[in-house]
Amino acid sequence: MTENRTPYPVRVDATLDPAPSRWLWLVKWLLLLPHAIVLFFLWLGFMVVSVVAFFAILVTGRYPRDLFEFNVGVLRWSWRVHYYGYGALGTDRYPPFTLVEVPDYPAHLTVPYPERLSRGLVLVKWWVLAIPHYLVLAIFLGGGLWLGTRGSDDGWDDSWSAGTGLVGLLVFIAAILVLFTGRYPRPLYDFVMGMDRWALRVAAYVGLMTDRYPPFRLDLGGDDPGGTPAVPVPPAPSGSPVSPPPVHTPS
């Protein structure tokens, strides 16, 4: 029986490759170097935009739309890289270099634009209210809490800290199983997706993109429960007796 859950505004969907490469994960760190360089600058922009948005929301109660779309794009780009790389190893398809949604890529993220945001919450949600989630994510992701949010001696570290947390451990186990069996165990994948989805929801919340407090729950699997899919299903042609297939199909 499917449990009814209130959908969260930040929707994260993904599709697991049915036949992952046994060896590609060994060199993905090298293949992702171009993305790491680009994401370093994108996350610098994300932080600057978040500061500007903070004052805009404080004064007007609105998140400037162009700035909002940029920051959502940074999260989306980061999620695709994370999903391809060592935060999930969910696909062998190389991530595209774009901020916009790519309908045929197996990882998706969408955040609906909020017409109004609380002026009071903007003062506290990114630090006081988010502290319980930071503690949870410290377990999931390790010493850091989110991509782009850890300080270092030479600036901001733009890498996920999944390598030292529960996500990193489970993905490593999955990688070993893929190496020897050619299969990614579905229960393991579903659990990793639940933790990644939790982190992305918190990232959008502390990035001031929504006033809805992130739920303390693991929504497992590739399909985010409830709400509108990140990539809408196109309408059937006029007069067509057959409905179009869903975008995300379970492996």
| Per-domain residue ranges of the chain | 11-206
Q: Pick the more confident residue, 96 or 127.
A: 96
Structure confidence at residue 150 (pLDDT): 43
- Cβ contact 137:194 at 8 Å: no
pTM of the complete model: 0.82
Q: What are the residues whose beta carbons fall under 8 Å from the beta carbon of 44, sequence distance 6 or more?
A: 156
DSSP secondary structure code for residue 87 in this structure: T
β-strand pairing of 150-152 with 107-110: unpaired
Range of lowest pLDDT (52-61, 145-154, 166-175): 145-154
Structure confidence at residue 143 (pLDDT): 54
Cα end-to-end distance, the chain, whole Å = 19
145 has a pLDDT exceeding 90: no
51 has a pLDDT exceeding 90: yes
Q: What are the residues whose beta carbons fall under 8 Å from the beta carbon of 234, sequence distance 6 or more?
A: 244
Averaged pLDDT of the chain: 85
Q: Pick the more confident residue, 251 or 98.
A: 98
Structure confidence at residue 4 (pLDDT): 57
